Amino acid sequence: MKQLKSLLIAAVLLLGLSQTATAQSKVAHIDVSELMSQMPEMKAANSQLEQLSKSYDTEYRTMVQEFQAKIKKYDAEAATAGDALNETRAKEVQDLQQRIQQYQQNATKELQDKQEAIYKPILEKSRNAIQKVARAKGYLYVLDASTGSGVILADGPDLMADVKKELGF
């Protein structure tokens, strides 16, 4: 009876170890940031964002140059202008400075919103491809191995090549 009990415990332990080995093989990883950076859609998106950023930057520089020109002009004329005119000019300079700051804030927000809108479909496409490949290979979990994602060690199966193949590049 004691031998039967020992044999049963050994069988349960052996079964448990094989389950653990099987469960470990159901985890894979992929660096999503690297994948997205290599996607052709991402290159086009970055080009579009860079063009928009340059447009905002050009407008901002024009506003700053106008601001600096007015300050220089007003400083040169301050001694000969009256107090009322100097006060009006000071108010005008403050308003212009506020408009420049508001423009910069709006441009930054619009650029971030545009970036999110452009990147979202690319991220969805990459996620769908990762899920399709993972399911086809029988993985239960796929970890994002991007820097800062929390994955400390990624020695297991890497799905990068398979996902790239799925995406066609």
Residue 128 maps to which CATH number? 3.30.910
Q: Does residue 9 belong to any structural domain of this protein?
A: no
What is the residue range of 118's domain?
24-167
pLDDT winner (highest mean) among 52-61, 68-77, 160-169: 52-61
Count of structural domains, the chain: 1
18-22's contacts with Cβ under 8 Å and 24+ in sequence apart are none
Q: Are 93 and 74 in contact (CB under 8 A)?
A: yes
Q: Does residue 148 belong to any structural domain of this protein?
A: yes
Residue listed under structure tokens 């005008």: 92
Q: What is the pLDDT of residue 30?
A: 94
Region 58-86 average pLDDT: 91
Give the residue with greater pLDDT, 163 vs 156. Answer: 163
Q: What is the pLDDT of residue 77?
A: 87
Q: Does residue 1 belong to any structural domain of this protein?
A: no
Q: How far apart are CA 26 and CA 30, in angstroms?
A: 14
> Would you state the structure tokens that stand for residue 56, as one six-digit string?
């905002």
Q: Does residue 18 belong to any structural domain of this protein?
A: no
Q: What is the pLDDT of residue 4?
A: 44
Q: What is the pLDDT of residue 39?
A: 94
Q: How far apart are CA 49 and CA 47, in angstroms?
A: 5
Q: What is the pLDDT of residue 97?
A: 95
Q: Does residue 75 belong to any structural domain of this protein?
A: yes
Q: Of the ranges 49-53, 62-66, 115-119, 153-157, which one carries the lowest mean pLDDT score?
A: 153-157
Nearest to 88 by CA among 100, 98, 101, 74: 74
Has residue 106 got a pLDDT over 70?
yes
Has residue 20 got a pLDDT over 80?
no
Q: Does residue 15 belong to any structural domain of this protein?
A: no
Q: Does residue 40 belong to any structural domain of this protein?
A: yes
Q: How far apart are CA 168 and CA 50, in angstroms?
A: 26
Share of the chain above pLDDT 70, in %: 84
Over residues 136-160, the pLDDT tens digits come to 999 999 999 888 777 767 778 889 9
Average pLDDT, the chain: 86
